[in-house]
């Protein structure tokens, strides 16, 4: 069992060219880091969409949130001012977990249950309220995360670029003091932004996802 992540940029035709370029460059940089760590392989297609294969499906949600926060933190304001701005770019994402029957070096040429779950779910999401959904062979697991992901969507919709940035570095494993030094702000400001992002709830969701998916689909079984 593997996870396939399919995603597209929401309302990308409305992005200013500078913003779209910043988002695409940011995605490519994250894809390279993820690929180097051998966690997954990603590819952009159609200019505003991407797809990736995650070897360990329990890691899929963390990777999705890393990519989402990397995009949400991007803005066109003066980067020297570490202020909070409204999120300008976002993604719609479907995680499919299942078999990958035919995997080639090029993701677009690969196929299998996980690809079908992911691609079809993303297509179905375009007229609904969800920005994040899971599809796997276990209906009970799908039901649990359909509810919890919708709650996460509502939480993340309140992020600012500043809170998304703190989520991004927290997902990278940085401590509050390290984030403060990187951003040039106080540790208390980092703590406030973590609280505003709902980081404690996000950690609970990540741990629950990892636990459930590891139990159901561990070690490629």
Instruction: Please answer whether residues 213 and 97 qualify as being in contact, where contact means their C-beta atoms are separated by less than 8 angstroms.
Output: yes
Distance CA 184, CA 152 (A): 28
Pairing of strands 2-9, 49-54: antiparallel
Contact assessment for residue 52 and residue 63, using Cβ atoms and an 8 Å cutoff:
yes
Number of H helices, E strands in the chain: 8, 5
- d(Cα 128, Cα 97) in Å, to the nearest integer? 21
Binning pLDDT at 50, 70 and 90, where does residue 76 land?
A: confident
- pLDDT at 109 exceeding the cut of 90: no
Per the listing, tokens 């993820």 go with 34
The dihedral formed by the CA atoms of 169, 54, 2 and 107, expressed in degrees to the nearest 10: 150
Domain range holding 208?
Answer: 2-220
What whole-number percentage of the chain has pLDDT above 90? 78
The answer to whether residue 194 scores a pLDDT higher than 80 is yes
pLDDT of 82 > 70? The answer is no
Give the separation between CA 54 and CA 182, rounded to whole angstroms.
29
Rounded to two decimals, the pTM is 0.93
Q: 6, 2, 8: which is closest to 20 by C-alpha?
A: 8
> Coil, helix or strand for 80?
coil
Count of structural domains, the chain: 1
Q: Which two tokens stand for residue 221?
A: 């079984």
How far apart, in whole angstroms, are the C-alpha atoms of residue 16 and residue 13?
8
Residue 220's pLDDT is 47
- Cα separation of 41 and 35, whole Å? 5
**CA 119 centroid distance within chain:** 16
CATH code, 119 = 3.30.70.1230
């Amino acid at each position: 069992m593997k996870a396939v992540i399919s995603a597209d940029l929401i309302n990308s035709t409305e992005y200013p060219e500078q913003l779209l370029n910043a988002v695409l460059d940011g995605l490519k940089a994250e894809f390279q880091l993820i690929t180097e760590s051998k966690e997954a392989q990603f590819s952009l297609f159609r200019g505003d969409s991407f797809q990736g294969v995650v070897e360990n499906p329990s890691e899929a949600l963390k990777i999705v949130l890393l990519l989402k926060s990397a995009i949400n933190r991007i803005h066109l304001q003066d980067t020297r001012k570490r202020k909070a701005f409204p999120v300008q770019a976002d993604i719609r994402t479907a995680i499919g977990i299942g078999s990958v029957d035919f995997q080639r070096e090029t993701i677009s040429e690969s196929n299998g249950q996980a690809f079908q779950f992911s691609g079809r779910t993303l297509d179905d999401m375009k007229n609904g309220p969800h920005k994040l959904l899971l599809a796997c062979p276990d209906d009970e697991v799908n039901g649990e995360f359909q509810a919890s992901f919708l709650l996460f969507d509502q939480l993340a919709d309140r992020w600012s670029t500043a809170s998304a940035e703190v989520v991004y570095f927290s997902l990278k494993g940085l401590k509050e003091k390290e984030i403060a030094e990187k951003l040039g702000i106080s540790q208390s400001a980092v703590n406030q932004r973590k609280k505003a992002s709902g980081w404690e709830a996000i950690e609970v969701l990540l741990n629950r996802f990892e636990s459930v998916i590891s139990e159901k689909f561990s070690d490629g079984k």
